[in-house]
Amino acid sequence: MNKEYPRRILIAPLDWGLGHATRCIPLIREWIKKGDEVVIAASGNGAAILQAAFPECKIIPLHGYGIRYDSHLPLLFSLLLQLPKFLRAIRHEKNWLRNLLEKEKFDLIVSDNRYGFYSQHVKSILITHQLFIQVPDGLSFLKKFIHKKTLRYISAFDECWIPDIEGEDNLSGDLSLGGELPANTRHIGWLSRFENSSIDESKFPVYDHLILLSGPEPMRTKAERELLQEALQASEKTLLVQGLPLTATEKMIDNIRIVSHLDNNALKHALLTAKKITCRSGYSTLMDLKVLGRAGESIRLIPTPGQTEQEYLAKRWQLLERRNTTSLTS
């Protein structure tokens, strides 16, 4: 039986974009407050984000899934071609964890969207908002197969935590409520790195326009180029955050300040004070916006083309915005 407190907790976020790592921050913060020891299994940008947030935590390198978009192929076909790599990564992380547990003891294992990161001998929790993965219309015949496969992965964990609220105002919509939920699932509310954090607003400048980027290449770079050209044609004071925490670069191009990465305080201030925000419709970004109270016409969401999850979340956000607007004016 797992002991209560303090515990030794191992957490591993998926490496697809920065959101899986950033939404682990409030959980890690709470565990440390309770006296738990948290060990992080990650690499690349996710490891950099979490190491900066928790320098006291040990980080064990764990290879990511390494998913990339092919700029010459539709996204869906690009991802289907990488399915063998995805399945190999699940097998690898399962074996990697088994070998680690032979050397080190943990009381709890937490996986953010890494389906193979669990143990039959240690309580294991999966964090995901995608229990019912969206499938393009042209591939609707695969929907049942994908759902069955996803449920099989989820059932291997002791618990599945859905980072959302229950009810009609939930952010994930059909992604988490598209059918009967597995018995091991529960909603834990929105997870945001900005929750319960304070900043000294006098230290940071205010911008007319904040452009916030992240996600797999080469789509991240393509979006940056397009949005940079768009911003150069405007006279607004603009901040473009590239979403590259492994680098530390900054430059000015006319009215635009371009930074590779911002720490939590600086980014929180920019999100709170920018007159308008352009960003991907990644789920963690939307949770951040909700927690900070940013909504309305000042938010412009640009889903990654062909990424069905982000396309659905952008539509879901617009639906919730219209509903909220109607309720305020009725």
Mean pLDDT of 300-321: 91
Q: Is residue 192 part of a domain?
A: no
What is the percentage of the chain residues whose pLDDT exceeds 90? 67
Answer whether residue 71 shows pLDDT above 60: no
Q: Which residue has the higher pLDDT, 217 or 259?
A: 259
Give the domain extent around 302. Answer: 201-325
- Asked if 22 and 50 count as a contact pair (C-beta separation under 8 A), the reply is no
Query: Cα separation of 282 and 268, whole Å?
Result: 17
pLDDT per residue as tens digits for the range 18-69: 899 999 999 999 999 999 999 999 999 999 999 999 999 999 999 887 766 6
pTM for this model (two decimals): 0.91
| Phi-psi map region of 189: left, alpha, beta (phi>0 left; psi -120 to 50 alpha) | left
For residue 96, being part of any structural domain is answered with yes
Query: Residue 195 falls within a domain, yes or no?
Result: no
Q: What is the mean pLDDT of the chain?
A: 90
Same domain, 183 and 264: no
Q: Assess whether pLDDT exceeds 80 at residue 301.
A: yes
Q: Alpha-carbon distance 151 to 157, whole Å? A: 10
Same structural domain, 45 and 166: yes
* Per-residue pLDDT, 139: 65
Q: What pLDDT does residue 1 have?
A: 42
Radius of gyration of the chain from its Cα atoms, rounded to whole angstroms: 20
Domain match, 74 and 167 both: yes
Within-domain flag for 271: yes
Contact 127, 112 (CB under 8 A): yes
Q: Which tokens go with 242?
A: 């590239």
pLDDT tens for residues 128-175? Answer: 999 988 776 666 667 778 888 889 999 999 999 999 999 889 999 999
pLDDT digits (tens, 9 = 90+) for 251-265: 999 999 999 999 999
Q: Reply yes or no on whether the pLDDT at 2 is more than 60.
A: no
Check: CB of residue 188 under 8 Å from CB of residue 208.
Answer: no
Copy the structure tokens of residue 293. Answer: 């109270």
Residue 109 lies in a domain: yes
| CATH code where residue 15 lies | 3.40.50.2000
Asked if residue 110 is part of any domain, the answer here is yes
Q: What is the DSSP letter of 128?
A: -
Domain closes at, from 187, 210, 244: 187
Identity of the amino acid at 12: A
Name which of 56, 63, 25 is nearest 41 in CA terms: 63
Mark whether 162 and 109 lie in a shared domain.
Answer: yes
With a cut of 90, say whether residue 216 has pLDDT above it.
no
Contacts of 87 (CB under 8 A, 6+ apart): none
Domain count, the chain: 2
Supply the pLDDT for residue 329. Answer: 58
Domain end marker among 161, 187, 213: 187
Spell out a b/e string for 219-229, using b for 16 or more CB atoms within 10 Å of the CB, else e.
bbeebbeebee
Give CA–CA dist 135/143, Å, rounded. Answer: 6
Average pLDDT (201-207) is 82
